[in-house]
Structure 1
Amino acid sequence: MASGFGSWHCLVAFFFVLGIGSLSCRAAAASGPYNVSQLRNCNLYEGSWVYDDSYPLYDASNCPFISEGFDCQKNGRPDKDYLKYRWKPTGCDLPRFDGRDFLERQRGKKIMFVGDSLSNNMWQSLACMLHSAVPGSKYFLTEEGKLSNFSIPEYGISVMWLKNGFLVASVAEKIGKVLKLDTINQGNEWKGNDMLIFNTFHWWLHEGESRTWDYFRVGNKTVKDMDHMEAYGIALTTWAKWVDANIDPMKTQVFFQGAAAAHYFGKDWNEPGVRTCQGQTEPVKGSVYPGPTLPGDGIVEKVLSMMEKPAKLLDLTLLTQLRKDGHPSIFAGQGKAFDDCSHWCLAGVPDTWNELLNAVLLQINPVQTKGTGLAPTPQPGVASGPHPGPASSPQPEAAPASSPQPVAGTPPSISSPPVPAPGTTPPSSASPPAPAPGAPASSHEPDAAPQSHHGPKSAGHAVLPAYVGHVLVQLAPVLFLILLL
């Protein structure tokens, strides 16, 4: 009898330890493979680029979401060292991105990037980073109007890009295109997301024919022109007021993607004989950029500091200033007549932007909760893994005609060729125009998404079994004790 009683005790102890071990493993998995403590009080944006042969984080040839203009290797770029650099903050190490851990921590969440083609650059990067972490997981890519949506139903996660170059309203009237600096007209699409990453900057620098608007308006006052950085400040203040009035920080995290540098003038990095970024194969050494600050430097920081609701700045300026080698240049799929020194190759520098986003999320909350909403269930007619067409191609963007600071984000007319950088030969008018951002991309797949024998997975179905499994494992010791009694 005693022996049997002891055996029962052993079994109970075994299942109890099993349950505790499960809890411990879940806690470890939630915090991820990161040394979170070293991130505390670390300035992630002061540092330098160091060569690391373990990079890039993914193989661009295996990522079906990269636009032609970002796919430098596919477009024939011969060098690869630009893929091998990682950002090293001065006071800590930037955690290497772990896609599976990110998916677990952001399970069930809706993440939306809102901004111009550099926002698109960052969105495509994150889509590639997540897809490469779970290449066997079913995914969907939908494009409707200005919204592109990448989702992985297994994790209930949706990562979106909503094209909006100014954040404020841009309306077509009889007099022409009017920028309404005190009006938000896309706000309803921003609501209901767990994470928002906003961006706007380069389009505000456009001058002359590269401008995509005709008038500014504040209230009832309409003017043909005004100081562009003053207009930028008014627009950002309008955006900030919208966030303060409409966002619950307990439900939605807000980030602002800082300005990324362009490289059209070699004198900015102490090479006065160099005209553009063409032929650059390595970063600027050190942690100080010798060139000028960006126009309007400090406007974003000032606006963010006055907000009632918190919005975190992803300060990308210095780390992008140092990466003169990271642009597509003549390998943007537009031929050698166009020199793109505004966008960024993928894989490449934007992957670091997402590593920084991940690091800031870890600083805020090392163990994050699951999202409040699940990714929307994909509808028929969307691109689905494993072989959808690429996301919308970015419009080629030109250096400004009259401004000393190069810009990005100009969406040329569909019917007209892109404006080349100063000093370059305009592309042939016979060249096919790039599709507008947000327009449905071409695909080798039929319109209807290929489905499994059981139909497409819904996000809810993907999340529920995980929860059930966790609960059963935790309750196993208790249930066993009840049976003994």
Structure 2
Amino acid sequence: MITTHTTPWPNRQIHLLFSIALSSLLVLGTVRIILDEMKSDSNPFLKLVYGGGNRHNKVIMRMPINISKDELIEEGCNLFEGKWVLDNISYPLYTEESCPTLVKQVTCQKNGRPDSLYKNWRWQPNSCNLPRFNALKLLEILRDKRMMFVGDSIQRGMFDSLVCMLQSVIPREKMSLKRIPPRKIFIAEEFNASIEYFWAPFIVESNSDNALNHTVKKRLVRLDSISNHSKQWEDVDILIFESYIWWMYKPQINATYGYPPNVQEYNVTTAYRLALETWADWINTSINESRQKVYFMSMSPTHLWSWEWMHGSDGNCFNESSPIHDNLYRGTGSNIEIMEILRNVLGNLKTDVTLLNITQLSEYRKDGHTSVYGESRGKLLTKEQRLDPKNFADCIHWCLPGVPDIWNEILYAHVLKDYHLKRIKKHNPPPF
């Protein structure tokens, strides 16, 4: 008789568990070796996936960014009609101290502004909600892309604002800010993303195009000339244009149009239309809508005369500490004819350009300007100048944190929507 020796049941269970644990360790060890090997640019598999050892040539397959229903602009939602709500819990989105890239022109509290509520106002649309800004999500959308703000110092403030809104989630050693006039370039290294600013106060070319020295006695605009500027825009994935306040210096402006380039005096509204049509021609012939998106910011209002919101007064934005809550308010700092020209030009474009109409919501913010707590000709105001707000208060530029942060939240909402629609279109192409 053949006798079979069997392992008692508890011992068999221990042997089984030991075998599973040993197998797991072997699998984990193998995976670790593979992952360690993949970290090296010399790895042949990595070269096949990434296209070589150059980090800027690496194309990484990534999962689509998850966008919830609450983050998408609802159908029929008008983000530009609403009211300002005091919110000292969610705002500001950053502080002057947390954003070392801010320039003195906009750091109002550091420059001596005594009040701070201007930083705590949230824009609430009437019929929907503005998506909460998510820096990491925007950076992921911008991965391997370029975003560029084009315009004057108002647009530069919007660029500075967005940099501050993004930099809080990026390690200091993984970001940089370079000034290469006429550009400022912020780079988020781990995302291979750049957010840039390009100085072009008239969009078309002019004798004020020097980003460092643009104060000229007599402004001259080349209404049909844009090629020197547009060379810098050609490969940009997201372009945000703005041009207004430099046109409003006088009712007429010296300009050239056509050949020969004779200097003539144009009404500002006529010159503005011709300049925008030159820009529109470039947009129609140069933008690839499959990979590029264009936005245009409407005019940023001024608050130069306090009698507009306080009858009988003779001041300006100085000492204003709260918004205007009359939703029928319309200031004279925004030119209606210019706005109509912009709408008409955008409406006749073959290429889709989104208008970000921030004018009216900003009209209410008489309290948001730098006033006497900014710079004049590159220097902070002296004590004597601050005592003369009628002549020295800046009621054009905005404090940061402040109103431009809301503009960027609106831009962010549209970028989310456009990303979402493009993803849907990619996965559901139209039939032939």
Q: Shared fold (TM-score greater than 0.5)? A: yes
Taking the TM superposition and a 5 Å limit, the aligned residue runs for 1:184-199 are 184=226, 185-199=228-242
Aligned to 2:396: 342
Task: Identify if the C-alpha distance between structure 1 residues 75 and 207 changes in structure 2 by more than 3 Å, giving closer, same or farther.
Answer: same
Aligned to 1:376: none
Where does structure 2 lack aligned partners over 5 or more consecutive residues? 1-12, 28-61, 209-216, 375-379, 424-432
Q: Which of 107, 118, 127 does residue 163 from structure 2 map onto?
A: 127
- Equivalent-residue separation in structure 1 for 2:78 and 2:94 (angstroms): 26
Q: Which of 239, 262, 265 does residue 225 from structure 1 map onto?
A: 265
Taking the TM superposition and a 5 Å limit, the aligned residue runs for 1:47-446 are 47-54=82-89, 55-136=91-172, 138-171=174-207, 178-184=220-226, 185-207=228-250, 214-220=254-260, 222-292=262-332, 293-295=334-336, 296-332=338-374, 333-335=380-382, 336=386, 337=388, 338-366=392-420
Aligned to 1:397: none
SS at the partner of 2:276? Answer: helix
- Equivalent-residue separation in structure 2 for 1:59 and 1:367 (angstroms): 33
- Equivalent-residue separation in structure 1 for 2:130 and 2:277 (angstroms): 31
The Cα of 1:137 is off from its aligned counterpart by 5.3
SS at the partner of 1:133? Answer: coil
Aligned to 1:386: none
Per-residue CA deviation, residues 228-277 of structure 1 (Å, 9 max, x unaligned), is 01110110111011111111011111011110101001122244304110
The percent identity for this pair of structures is 34
- Equivalent-residue separation in structure 2 for 1:78 and 1:34 (angstroms): 41
- Equivalent-residue separation in structure 2 for 1:34 and 1:102 (angstroms): 16
| Contact 2:298–2:356 under 8 Å retained in 1 | yes
- Equivalent-residue separation in structure 1 for 2:120 and 2:356 (angstroms): 22
- Equivalent-residue separation in structure 2 for 1:176 and 1:204 (angstroms): 13
Task: Identify if the C-alpha distance between structure 1 residues 38 and 241 changes in structure 2 by more than 3 Å, giving closer, same or farther.
Answer: closer
Larger radius of gyration: 2
Aligned to 1:44: 79
The 10-residue stretch of structure 1 (292-301 or 157-166) with the greater mean CA deviation from structure 2: 292-301
SS at the partner of 2:350? Answer: coil
Task: Identify if the C-alpha distance between structure 1 residues 134 and 34 changes in structure 2 by more than 3 Å, giving closer, same or farther.
Answer: farther
Aligned to 2:66: 31
User: Number of residue pairs matched?
Assistant: 345
SS at the partner of 1:233? Answer: helix
- Equivalent-residue separation in structure 2 for 1:330 and 1:348 (angstroms): 16
Amino acid in the other structure paired with 1:35: D
The Cα of 1:216 is off from its aligned counterpart by 3.8
| Contact 1:114–1:196 under 8 Å retained in 2 | yes
The Cα of 1:363 is off from its aligned counterpart by 2.4
Per-residue CA deviation, residues 337-393 of structure 1 (Å, 9 max, x unaligned), is 521110000000000010000111122233777xxxxxxxxxxxxxxxxxxxxxxxx
Amino acid in the other structure paired with 1:43: N
Where does structure 1 lack aligned partners over 5 or more consecutive residues? 16-25, 370-485
- RMSD of aligned alpha carbons: 2.7
| Contact 1:147–1:162 under 8 Å retained in 2 | yes
- Equivalent-residue separation in structure 2 for 1:286 and 1:228 (angstroms): 30
The Cα of 1:224 is off from its aligned counterpart by 3.7
| Contact 1:111–1:193 under 8 Å retained in 2 | yes
- Equivalent-residue separation in structure 2 for 1:176 and 1:355 (angstroms): 37
The Cα of 1:102 is off from its aligned counterpart by 1.1
The Cα of 1:328 is off from its aligned counterpart by 0.6
Task: Identify if the C-alpha distance between structure 1 residues 48 and 267 changes in structure 2 by more than 3 Å, giving closer, same or farther.
Answer: same
The 10-residue stretch of structure 1 (217-226 or 80-89) with the greater mean CA deviation from structure 2: 217-226
With normalisation by structure 2, the TM-score equals 0.74
- Equivalent-residue separation in structure 2 for 1:222 and 1:38 (angstroms): 48
SS at the partner of 1:161? Answer: strand
Task: Identify if the C-alpha distance between structure 1 residues 190 and 67 changes in structure 2 by more than 3 Å, giving closer, same or farther.
Answer: same
With normalisation by structure 1, the TM-score equals 0.66
The Cα of 1:286 is off from its aligned counterpart by 4.1
- Equivalent-residue separation in structure 1 for 2:125 and 2:318 (angstroms): 27
| Contact 2:299–2:339 under 8 Å retained in 1 | no
- Equivalent-residue separation in structure 1 for 2:258 and 2:105 (angstroms): 35
- Equivalent-residue separation in structure 2 for 1:186 and 1:101 (angstroms): 30
Per-residue CA deviation, residues 122-162 of structure 1 (Å, 9 max, x unaligned), is 00000000002334552111111211101010111100001
- Equivalent-residue separation in structure 1 for 2:372 and 2:104 (angstroms): 12
